[in-house]
Amino acid sequence: MGQKKKILIVDDEKVLLELLVSKMKQNGFAAIGARDGDEGLQTALAERPDLILLDIVMPKMDGITVLKKLRQDKWGKNVPVIVLSNLNTAEAVEKSLENGVYDYLVKVDYSLDDLAAIVKKKLGA
């Protein structure tokens, strides 16, 4: 079996971040977390994960800005990103889609198991 797929989870909600990292590890992924947009961007560019779960509303740098900066990078322009946010506005969804996200999920609509299934589907795991 090959190397575990690496997932970066960027979310400022500490409890949710820990739950997501734990759930992804339970599902056979190598998971790392970042607590704000700035840390998330730095970690993404250093670690080059196979997929990023990205919150929108965060301190230091919001998710849309992280996404735009990622897409300016040679590696980052192609990394699959799933937005996971409580922000459910047409503008947020539109800006995310403009920057090439795989999916835009509203946190309250999905369980941890649902998220793991979506990640597995995207990564063909």
Q: Give me the pLDDT at residue 15, please.
A: 95
Percent of the chain with pLDDT over 90: 87
Confidence of residue 87 (pLDDT cuts 50, 70, 90): confident
Q: Which helix (H) or strand (E) holds 81?
A: strand 81-85
Confidence of residue 2 (pLDDT cuts 50, 70, 90): low
Torsional class of 28: left (φ above 0), alpha (ψ -120 to 50), beta (otherwise): left
Locate the domains of the chain by residue range: 6-123
Q: What does the pLDDT average to over 56-67? A: 94
Burial class of residue 90, CB neighbours in 10 A (0-12, 13-18, 19+): exposed
Q: What is the pLDDT of residues 14-46, one digit of tens each?
A: 999 999 999 999 999 999 999 999 999 999 999
- Given a cut of 50, whether residue 72 has pLDDT beyond it is yes
- pLDDT, greater one: 33 or 88: 33
Which fold, 6-123?
Answer: Rossmann fold (3.40.50)
Residue 61 phi, psi dihedral angles, 5° rounding: -155, 125
Q: How far apart (Å, rounded) are the C-alpha atoms in residues 86 and 81?
A: 16
